Amino acid sequence: MENNKSNTGLKVGLGIAIVLFLATGFYTMNLYNSSKKVQNELTEEKQLVMNDLNAMAKQYDEAIGENEVSNANLIEARTRIQGLIDSLKISETNVKSLWRYKRKYASLQKEMDVLLAQNDSLRVENSYLATSLDSTRVRLEERTVFTDSLLVQNNALAEVVENAAILNTVGLKGFGVIERTSGKLIPTERASRADKIRVCFTVAKNALVQAGDEELYVQVIDPKNNTLGLNEQVTFGEKTLNYSMISKFNYENASLNICEFVASKGENKFEKGRYVVNVFNAKDLVSSSEFTLK
């Protein structure tokens, strides 16, 4: 009888133990499933925060890329966001940690709104400034073109004035003369009788030339292409001139008649044929004439 009671107690105890074990297992299973669900939700929430931070970083990248000169405040804020993203990747996935990152994100969101508004305002100002600078540059270029045009015109005018400010000659004539012992000169066309060649011309009045001592180079070339007289050389830049004589005179802003003489060398007589007479003002030929000795 006592044995039956003992067996009954054991069975009851075993049943209670089994029930408790099953209840504990069920509770543990529910707790595990609940914890896993919470963990999944926290992981999803963490990913949402990560997405928000990446979107914020992208906005900063776009704002920074729009400016040729980078805004230091934007760059510094973008660096802090990247640091927060890197920290979030390796952080524990729990409520406390996630809440801390959410608060930082909210703070950065407010800061970004202010910085981007300032950046937009700065970009508008820069755009206006660039437009103004372009307009100024266009005006400067137009002014430069105008100035260059004036310079070209002035240079051209100066060149015209320089070319015009020289003495010219008119009425150039060359002919042979017989010189008497009394000094009297008798024109001749015979080469054998000519003692000298007389060259006469008129220096024309030129208001652009200042009064003072002037000189012209006279060149007489015989039929054999020889330069008579001194036959000396003078150089003007790359040009060399052989001249027969230098005619020096005082110019007084009025027309001036001048006659010069070129003698033959030694006792040599002048050649028969065509003679050429040229008058140069420095390197510039101002008049030319011909005559013939028979």
Q: Look at residue 198 and tell me whether its pLDDT is greater than 50.
A: yes
The token duo for 232 is 């000396």
Across residues 119-147, what is the average pLDDT? 68
Report pLDDT digits (tens) over 114-127.
Answer: 777 776 666 666 66
Helix axes 2-65, 72-89, angle to 10 degrees: 160
Q: In order of start, what are the domains of the chain with their CATH numbers?
A: 2-125 (no CATH), 169-293 (2.60.40.2560)
Residue 213 has phi, psi (to 5 degrees) of: -70, 135
Average pLDDT, the chain: 77
* Residue whose structure tokens are 């266009």: 138
CA 163 vs CA 31, 153, 190: distances in Å: 112, 15, 39
Q: Look at residue 159 and tell me whether its pLDDT is greater than 50.
A: no
Report pLDDT digits (tens) over 53-75.
Answer: 788 778 777 777 776 555 677 77
Query: What whole-number distance in Å separates Cα of residue 78 and Cα of residue 81?
Result: 5
In this predicted structure, what is the pLDDT of residue 255? 92
Could you tell me which of 95, 9, 10, 1 has the C-alpha nearest to residue 46? Answer: 95
pTM over 0.85: no
pLDDT band for position 29 (cuts 50, 70, 90) = low
In this predicted structure, what is the pLDDT of residue 160? 42
Could you tell me which of 64, 183, 168, 48 has the C-alpha nearest to residue 116? Answer: 64
**Ramachandran category for residue 229: left, alpha or beta (phi over 0 → left; psi -120 to 50 → alpha):** left
Helix axes 95-164, 2-65, angle to 10 degrees: 10
**Contact 243/282 with Cβ under 8 angstroms?**
no
